[in-house]
Amino acid sequence: MNLVEPIPAAWCDEVVRALSKGTTPNVRWSFRAQQDWQQFGLPYQAHELLIRTLRQPGIWGERVTTMIPLPNPPKGAGSQAVYGFLCPHPLGGQKPLYAKIGLFANEVTLDIFSLHIDLSGELTRCIAQAQKKRT
Task: Give the pLDDT confidence of 87-107 residue by residue, as tens digits.
Answer: 998 888 778 999 999 999 867
Q: Is the pTM of this model over 0.85?
A: yes
pLDDT exceeding 90 applies to what percent of the chain? 52
User: Cα dist. 80→55, 103, 107 in Å?
Assistant: 20, 5, 10
Given the DSSP bridges, would you call strands 110-117 and 27-29 parallel, antiparallel or unpaired?
parallel
For residue 1, the model assigns a pLDDT of 59
- On the question of pLDDT at 108 being above 80, the answer is no
- 31-64 pLDDT, tens digit per residue, is 999 999 988 888 888 999 999 999 999 999 999 9
